[in-house]
Structure formats: structure tokens, C-alpha cells
Chain A
């Protein structure tokens, strides 16, 4: 388990493209949230009172269900982010028990860790897919002023976990793809 081949260039390229696609999804989602919330506040707190004061009816400018749309975007941005955080090494990994095994075993331990994570995330992907399939069959519509089929939003969950599982599988097969420790949130 300790010896490993370096990754074929095609694999890194393919994963890089997948990463870029996820970055775009997240960028659109987070940028979209910012635009929607800023628009919402501006229109409600500034534009409408101003236009009303000078005699214009401006209630149609309100984006109904704006918070809900922003939350749906957050869902896609957040779960696209699992893959992004995995690829750039920004997943939070508690290091409290890292010294439980000798340092010489580090590479081996990392591969065992990647194997366990891969299997676990595949399991989560399956459970999440069942959940989305049930939601699809029930035809449930979102509440909060946005008439969207809920499964379209929920789909972000299995896709995000599957993407992360794929990354960990790649790290398991080609450890040179494994990122160094990344950022954290404080």
C-alpha cells in the first residue's frame, strides 16, 4: 500500500477541469447570493421608499422569494464547495490523534484515511440519492414564494458528496494528487 505510481497527466487534467466547473458553480452561486441580497435590501430600503415618496408605485421591483432563491443558490454553492475544499486541501481534519501512529507510517495512514473516506462518502452519496429520488417521486414543490421542484435543489447534496468521493478515490490511487493542508475558517 505504500508504493504508488504517479498520476497520469490526463487524470490531473480531468480533475482540474472538474474542479474548474465546480468553482464556476460556486462562484455563480455565491456571486448570485450577493447580488440577490444586495438588490433586495437596496430595493426595499432605498428604491421603493424613494419612488413612493415622489408618487410612483414601485412594489413590482421587489424580488419575491429572494431569500429562498439565495438559500437554494447557497445549497448548490455549499455542496459544490465540498469538492472544491477537498481538491485544494481545505477540508477541516481534526489532528488531535495524528500522533497516535508513528510519523514513519504517515503515507500509509493517509492512504488508509483516503480509502475510508472514499467508501464512506460513496455510502453517503447513495443515501442522499435515495432521498432525492423519493423527493422527485413525491413531486414536492418548494415553499417561500418560489415554485421550484425541491429535488432540483436537493440534487446538490448527492452530487457534492459524489464529487468529493471521486477526489478521495483519486488520492487513494495516486497519492501525489493529494493536496497539502489548506485553509481553515476562523
Chain B
């Protein structure tokens, strides 16, 4: 009965257009009254304790880092290197778009930042080179989604926090699926543009691009190299990346002045203001769920219907694909991560692999209407119609579903760099 009231309460708040913060807090308060001790101040205490985790500090650092790089010319320099490197292939500019998105994703940790930074440079260049508007848009919006699977990734940090999974391991696990997606996107670009005129490869042009982009190219090396070698924790690596980005953009590229930093910090504060209280509430919800053995109860319920791990993962994938179309990545991870991860573990899935499966599902959600955030942002950033953007994303969505299937059934794709 209490569970039914809780579901009705959440449904009512959704109809009443409440912020996610309010919905989560109301759900926790109800759970505390119905199943817990009834002390509402404990929720606030849990929120306070939940934010008292060193790893959380990595999130504002990556937000600031992404902001600094968006203001500077890192994206252009990376794109120039990728164009010089793979531009001679059929569909080379498309491949360059995917490759530069992947490299930028290895710095930014965000899908929107990656899409806007690379898209601003590449979309006009692809149109100028004669690529169809549909393909160019598809490349840019899909390439942007690599930002949340290729580490560092803010959604991976969130998943690690709410499911108590090693963030370094999650970062390692994101590499294989990220490369798989880059490979699939690149092959599609070559195939789709096989009749396009090709450019000739030029060593001098590549050398010039590498020389100009050297400091930007070093960013993912320092960042991921530091984390994977164990030299830095993710938080320390994020701090180093921020320092490096500021130095490069202010003193080497000279594209950023001190005043710009205030705007960068403001944007981070704005996004952080929406996110951090939610993290605190979601983590305190997690504590209540565990205290009241909700994952165990859910498992008992699900096992009554599903017994095979294959059926489980297919059902969960379909569920997450549907959720991804209606919820943003952060919302879905914060709410569903603590509920689904224990279920997946009980069906024999590695918690790290399941995290990657979850992120890839939600990555697809960035491209599916009505709440495909990359599509919505691209609509205003590139001034294109929503319908065109949806059609442009379709081939890439199909490739991502193929990749999702492979990642779901071949855990080694994720675990190769973990072990």
C-alpha cells in the first residue's frame, strides 16, 4: 500500500511539473515517514554527509575545464589535426569529425560541450566541402555523445557515486566501448561518402597541424595518463587538467583573458547549482533504499518474472532506451542507478559493465526525441529544424544500438582495459 502511495505521489508531482529536486525530496520524505524513523532532519543530515566525498570535487573541476576549453581554440586545433590525419579517406571530414570529437571527449566529460565545441568548427567546414547537411548534422550531434562514454565523463562519475563503483575502473571501462563507437561511426562515414571527392594526404600539413595542436593534444595524455597510471586520483587529474587548460588558453594560445574566467565559473556554478543538490538528495535516497532493503525486495519481485540474465539485459536495455527518450542522463542515473545496478549484479553482470551499458543507453537517449538533449541544443546552436536533426541522427542511432548489443553480450569490450 505504501509503495502504491509513493508511486502515486511521484506521478502527481510529475503532473504538477515539479523540479526533480522536489520530486526526489518528497519521495525520500515519504519513505522516511512510511518505512523509516520519521525523522525528516535525517534527510538533511544524509544530504550533508553525501556531499562530503572527495570524488565529488572532480565534477566542478571537469565543468570548469570544459568551460575554459570551449572559450579557447582547443577544439579547432584538435579538428585541424584530425583533418590532416584522416581527411584523405573517403568521407574524411566526417571521420575527422568523429576522431576530433573522441579526442575532445577525452578532455571534456560532457556531451553538449563536445558537440558545440567540435560542431562549431566542423559543421560549416563539412557543408563547405559538399557533405550533405543531413550527414554533417548527424556526425556532429552523434560525435558529441562520445563525450559521456569516453573518459573522463561526468555521467560515469555520477554512476560511480550512486552505486559505489570505482570511478577509475569506470573510466578504464569506457575506453573500449568508446573506441568501438568511434570505429563504427568512422566506417559509416567512409561508406556513406564513398563517392565524395577525396583530398590528398600531406605530411607537411599534418606536421603543421600537430605543431599548432601539440599542447591541446597533450591534454588527454596528461589527464588520462595521470589517472590510469595511478599518479593522480580523478579529482587531482581534473585539477591538473583545469590548470593546464587555463595556462594553455591564456598564455600559449592567448585566446582567453582573465575576465573570461568569471563567465566560465558562473556557468559552472549555474550547472552545479542544478546538479549538486540533486546528487546530495539522490545519494541520501540511496542510503534509505539500502536501509530498507529495497534492492532486495525489487530483486525478489523481478525474479518472479525474469529468470534469465539474457532476458534481463534485453528488458533493461529496452527500458533504458525508452527512459533515455524522456529523461536527461543525469536524472536517469541518479534515480535508476542505485535501483538497477544491484539487480544487474544479482543476474551475474559486472557492476562496471552494467554502468557502461547504462551510459550507452542514455547516450542514445541524447539523440532520441522528445528529450534528446543533443538534438534540442543543436537545433538552436546550428539553427536547423528538429525533424532534420532527428532524421540525421537515425543511422548513428542504429550503429549505437548495434554497439550496445555488442557491449551487453561481450563484457570484455568494457573490461579489456580494466583487467
Contact = CB atoms under 8 A, between A and B. Distances in A.
A30 B242 CA distance: 12
Given A71-B51, A92-B20, A120-B26, A83 B265 contact: no
Interface string A159-186: 0100000000000000000000011111
A74 to B, nearest CB: 6
The majority secondary structure among interface residues of chain A is helix
Interface in B3-35: 11, 13-23, 25-26
Interface stretch (B72-80, B194-202, B266-274): B266-274
A33 B239 CA distance: 9
Interface string B152-193: 001100000000000000000000000000000000000000
Interface residues of B, number: 73
Given A97-B15, A131-B44, A186-B330, A160 B277 contact: yes
Given A67-B57, A97-B15, A109-B17, A92 B330 contact: yes
B17 A96 contact: no
A116 B16 contact: yes
B266 A23 contact: yes
A147 B151 CA distance: 36
The majority secondary structure among interface residues of chain B is helix
Nearest to A157: B44
Interface in B215-255: 231-232, 235-236, 238-240, 242-243
Nearest to A75: B51
Nearest to B64: A34
Interface stretch (B135-143, B304-312, B321-329, B348-356): B321-329
Interface residues of A, number: 63
Contacts of B100: none
B275 interface: yes
Interface of B: 11, 13-23, 25-26, 40-41, 43-45, 47-48, 51-54, 56-57, 60-61, 64, 110-112, 147-148, 154-155, 231-232, 235-236, 238-240, 242-243, 261-262, 265-266, 268-278, 280, 326-331, 366, 370-371, 373-374
30 contacts: A23-B266, A27-B262, A27-B266, A27-B269, A30-B60, A34-B61, A34-B265, A37-B57, A41-B236, A71-B57, A74-B57, A74-B276, A78-B51, A78-B272, A81-B272, A91-B21, A92-B21, A95-B370, A96-B14, A97-B11, A97-B17, A100-B14, A110-B17, A116-B18, A121-B22, A183-B270, A184-B328, A186-B112, A186-B148, A186-B366
